Chain A
Amino acid sequence: MPATDVELVRGALDGVESAFRDIVLRYQRPVYGLIARMVRDPSRAEELAQDTFVKAFRALHTYDVQRKFSAWLLTIAHHVAIDELRKGSLDTEPIEVATDSGERTREFADTRAPTPSALAERAQLARFMQTAIGRLRPEYREVVTLRYERELDYDEIAEITGLPLGTVKSSLHRARKELAEHLENLGWSATTHSTM
């Protein structure tokens, strides 16, 4: 049975290197994923994710075991990403624009048995999503990532971002609306199926 987060934290505080390595392995994807979605620069995101873990390790003795560890760690990641965005320009233009040609017929494919065409559709959907998310404001990008990629509930998002619950809900509502508009602009309308 894998060790719990609290057990790993206690191990790391006792100087057991493998305990903190397990924490890194367990949370590298959520931490990197959140930061990468926010700063939209993969190499910079990797540096910032690393910075997040270093900060977390240095502050590990302040972690309250009553709190959910993932929320505590993602709060640090949130602050690291926000600091980075404050330092640079808040550019929300997409890195890559998905303008692939081809018919965009779709019905969500069954992920349990992906056929080549289903895989192609998923890849296309991923590109569209990435572009649409990239066009969102950074604060919306964050709540969308936390809600839909990390599948966190509103309370956890509020805890991580430090926003009131009502603000999280309204931000998500507006983010969904904007996301829909961006996807529509990219060609995801309900009736068209022509090439772009």
Chain B
Amino acid sequence: MERDNPLDDVDDERLLAAFAQIDAPQPSRDFAVNTMRAVRRAPLPAGRVRLRDPLMSMFGWAALIAAVAFAVLAIALTEPIVVPVFSRFITRGVGTGMRLLQLAPMGLRLFDVMATMGDAVSRAAMTAQGATGLVMSAVVGVVSLSGLHRVLISEREDSQWQELS
């Protein structure tokens, strides 16, 4: 059987055809990741902007805003003027909640409500939005309780504010 040597007629076309059939060397799967890591670390000439990930920047801004919000809240709670307003708000909120609970039917009906709420919470917890909402509710709850705690303690103490009023 006679074979056809692809390079007998050595010309561009035949070599191009021959090379088209073989795979070119390929880098490893991690090549791009490793390269980007090296690129990020590389020193840059003056005036050049460093690479940044837009998603990470967004997270950074969100963290900064949250930190500022918490700081403002913490500072506000130490102010004598803010504390009574905040405590009144909490007291009214808790009182309203308690009254609503008292109005709610007892017994099985209450059990049904609790069961439904439990079901809703568990369903919500399975979705990203629901889970986020629950976490936020928990955070608000913790902050509220913390404020309530401060208020209850301050009522037992003699403060200059009480003397003035």
Contacts and interface: CB of A to CB of B under 8 A. Distances in A.
Contacts of A49: 27, 31, 35
B126 interface: no
Nearest to B43: A58
Nearest to B8: A190
B39 to A, nearest CB: 5
Contacts, number: 146
**How many A residues touch the partner, as a band?**
35 or more
A149 B32 contact: no
Contacts of A32: 25-27, 31
A38 to B, nearest CB: 10
Chain A interface, DSSP helix/strand/loop, else mixed: helix
Contacts of B11: 176
B108 interface: no
Nearest to B48: A61
B161 interface: no
B32 to A, nearest CB: 5
Contacts of A147: 12, 15
Interface stretch (B50-58, B61-69, B112-120): B50-58
A94 to B, nearest CB: 14
A114 B21 CA distance: 11
B4 A107 contact: yes
A60 B32 CA distance: 18
A13 B24 CA distance: 30
A165 interface: no
Interface in B1-42: 1-8, 10-12, 15-28, 31-32, 34-36, 38-40, 42
A187 to B, nearest CB: 10
A18 B21 CA distance: 33
A106 B18 contact: no
B26 A29 contact: yes
B107 interface: no
A106 B3 contact: yes
21 contacts: A17-B54, A20-B51, A24-B36, A25-B32, A28-B32, A29-B24, A29-B26, A42-B25, A49-B35, A50-B31, A53-B39, A61-B48, A105-B3, A107-B3, A107-B4, A108-B21, A122-B22, A126-B23, A177-B10, A189-B3, A190-B2
Interface of B: 1-8, 10-12, 15-28, 31-32, 34-36, 38-40, 42-45, 47-54
Query: Ordered nearest first, which 9 A-B pairs have the shortest CB separation?
Result: A15-B49, A36-B25, A126-B22, A148-B19, A32-B27, A17-B51, A180-B7, A33-B24, A190-B5
Interface of A: 12-18, 20-21, 24-25, 28-29, 32-33, 36-37, 42, 45-46, 49-50, 53-54, 57-58, 60-61, 104-109, 111, 122, 125-126, 129-130, 147-149, 151, 176-177, 179-180, 183-184, 188-193
